[in-house]
């Protein structure tokens, strides 16, 4: 979720009694107007934000964020709403040229009432359209895909490169989730089955720090894999699933047609390949059988221990066209359709732990499930959505640029514009 958000501990409530409600309201109005000026570069952040805020959100970071906002929605025009929620806080709405931004503001109760908290999280586009969004997406460097529409593939509101395969980053973990869920549906395993934690990978995640042999359920592994993109949980889960189970999900989606998806890598093997140029070159030049043998050797030598693997630096795009996981919007749509049709809701409940949409937007949907992924040069954002009439939708957006890291914040803002097309 895109936001600037910081709230600093305030003095005791007795401090509020020093000023009248009218004075407090005037301070809120004044500081909200200052936010507009700061967004447009007409005031320095140091003039309006408190020291603790600036320590957490330095002026350069604030200015970078506002460049992204104004690049998407145009200049900030005016304060549209200041609705006090206390003597030092309010809900605010700021009108931009092409959107209305909603959020909250919190002031230090002591004069000069510097801003100690600011959240701008919801951007409702004004006079936006699929054509305008498509033009902005197509203007990004590299390759872009996007699809927003019913899960059955009918009448999409936005479709760019529906059959074009891009690198997914951690969105690939949805294939493991579907394989697991369908194995449960067939009665082969249970969500409550307990296994020892034996494999590890590099972060993202937390489970790489858990004790060796810790007992964990399949439900725990899947929840960590999806909600916080835990790589250790992913590799442990993939080691427990038959390779044919994930292969079946690739086949049913159509992604098995891409030779780059064979072998289907666990995260530690991908890190090992990207961290060692010789291994990467051998993998890229090898036949399918040679690639399988190389990955098997990496797994045997590491034993699921990241300390035995040279980690990638990940400061610039690295082999994103050859060593990754790949799928098109159409293939992700077919994968999500398999998750939507499950009679057991557990997999969908796991996808909904981290919906990755502003709270205000969440109220527009009956169900929101999410998985995203990124590395330098790669970002994918994929949502499974259900409206209040029970219809299923997908929003999936991908951006690959082998020349430079992608601007994740700008892409997430574009996703907010896309999802607003449904309103």
Domain definitions of the chain by residue range: 13-125, 129-423
Instruction: Look up residue 109 and give its two tokens.
Output: 């109760």
pLDDT in tens, 210-237: 999 999 999 999 999 999 999 999 999 9
Q: Which of 346, 379, 319 is nearest to 170 (CA)?
A: 379
3-class state of residue 405 by DSSP: coil
Taking residues 116-139, what's their average pLDDT?
A: 92
CATH number of 13-125: 3.10.450
Close Cβ partners of 268 (under 8 Å, ≥ 6 residues apart): 199, 200, 201, 202, 231, 235, 298, 299, 302, 304, 306, 309
Residue 50 CA to residue 207 CA, distance in Å, equals 37
Residue 184 CA to residue 193 CA, distance in Å, equals 10
Angle at CA of residue 388, ends 363 and 343, nearest 5°: 110
pLDDT of residue 6: 45
Residue 40 CA to residue 249 CA, distance in Å, equals 48
Does residue 100 come out as left (phi exceeding 0), alpha (psi in the -120 to 50 range) or beta?
A: beta
Taking residues 249-273, what's their average pLDDT?
A: 97
281 to each of 61, 274, 321, how far by Cα in Å?
Answer: 38, 10, 13
Indicate whether 16 pLDDT > 80: no
pLDDT of residue 19: 58
Banded model confidence at residue 13, pLDDT cuts 50, 70, 90? very low
Q: Calculate the average pLDDT of the chain.
A: 93
Distance of CA 255 to the CA centre of its chain: 22
Angle at CA of residue 328, ends 408 and 289, nearest 5°: 110
164 to each of 59, 146, 282, 373, how far by Cα in Å?
Answer: 39, 10, 26, 17
- Give the count of beta carbons closer than 10 Å to the beta carbon of residue 383: 24
- DSSP 8-state assignment for residue 3: -
Instruction: Look up residue 401 and give its two tokens.
Output: 């640029």
Indicate whether 282 pLDDT > 80: yes
Taking residues 271-290, what's their average pLDDT?
A: 97
CB 259 within 8 A of CB 288: yes
Taking residues 265-283, what's their average pLDDT?
A: 97
Banded model confidence at residue 20, pLDDT cuts 50, 70, 90? low
Contacts 24+ apart (CB under 8 A), 289-295: 291/262, 291/263, 292/262, 292/263, 295/263, 295/265, 295/269
CATH architecture, range 129-423: 3-Layer(aba) Sandwich (3.40)
Residue 92 CA to residue 72 CA, distance in Å, equals 20
Indicate whether 304 pLDDT > 50: yes
SS3 string, 200-224, reads CCCCCCCHHHCCCCCEEEHHHHHHH
CB 267 within 8 A of CB 295: no
pLDDT in tens, 46-95: 999 999 999 999 999 999 989 989 988 999 999 999 999 988 999 999 99
Indicate whether 14 pLDDT > 60: no
Banded model confidence at residue 208, pLDDT cuts 50, 70, 90? very high
């Amino acid at each position: 979720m895109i936001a600037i958000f910081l709230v600093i501990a305030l003095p005791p409530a007795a401090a509020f009694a020093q000023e009248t409600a009218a004075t407090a309201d005037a301070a809120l109005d004044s500081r909200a107007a200052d936010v507009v000026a700061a967004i447009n570069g007409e005031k320095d952040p140091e003039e309006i934000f408190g020291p603790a805020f600036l320590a957490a959100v330095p002026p350069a970071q604030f200015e970078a964020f506002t460049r992204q906002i104004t690049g998407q929605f145009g200049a900030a025009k005016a304060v549209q709403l200041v609705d006090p929620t206390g003597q030092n806080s309010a809900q605010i709405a700021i009108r931009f040229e092409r959107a209305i931004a909603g959020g909250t503001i919190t002031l230090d109760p002591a004069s000069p009432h510097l801003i100690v908290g600011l959240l701008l999280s919801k951007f409702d586009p004004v006079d936006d359209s699929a054509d305008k969004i498509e033009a902005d997406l197509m203007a990004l460097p590299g390759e872009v895909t996007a699809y927003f529409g019913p899960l059955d593939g009918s009448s999409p509101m936005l479709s760019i490169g529906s059959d074009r395969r891009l690198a997914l980053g951690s969105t690939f973990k949805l294939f493991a989730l579907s394989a697991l869920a369908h194995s449960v549906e067939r009665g082969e395993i249970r969500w409550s089955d307990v296994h020892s934690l034996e494999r590890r990978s590099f972060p993202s995640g937390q489970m790489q720090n858990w004790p060796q042999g810790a007992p964990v359920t399949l439900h725990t592994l899947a929840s960590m894999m999806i909600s916080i993109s835990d790589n250790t949980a992913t590799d442990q889960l993939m080691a427990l699933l038959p390779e044919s189970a994930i292969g079946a999900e690739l086949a049913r989606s159509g992604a098995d047609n891409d030779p780059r998806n064979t072998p289907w890598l666990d995260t530690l093997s991908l890190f090992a390949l990207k961290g060692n140029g010789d291994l990467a070159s051998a993998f890229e030049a090898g036949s399918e059988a040679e690639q399988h043998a190389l990955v098997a050797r990496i797994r045997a030598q590491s034993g699921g221990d990241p300390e035995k693997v040279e980690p990638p630096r990940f400061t610039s795009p690295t082999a994103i066209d050859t060593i990754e996981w790949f799928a098109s919007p159409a293939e992700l749509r077919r994968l999500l359709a398999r998750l939507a049709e499950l009679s057991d809701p557990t997999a969908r409940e796991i996808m909904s732990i981290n919906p990755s949409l502003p709270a205000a937007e969440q109220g527009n949907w009956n169900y929101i499930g999410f998985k995203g992924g990124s590395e330098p040069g790669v970002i994918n954002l994929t949502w499974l959505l259900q409206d209040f009439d029970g219809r299923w939708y997908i929003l999936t957006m991908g951006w690959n640029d082998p020349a430079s890291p992608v601007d994740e914040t700008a892409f997430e803002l574009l996703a907010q514009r896309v999802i607003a097309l449904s309103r």
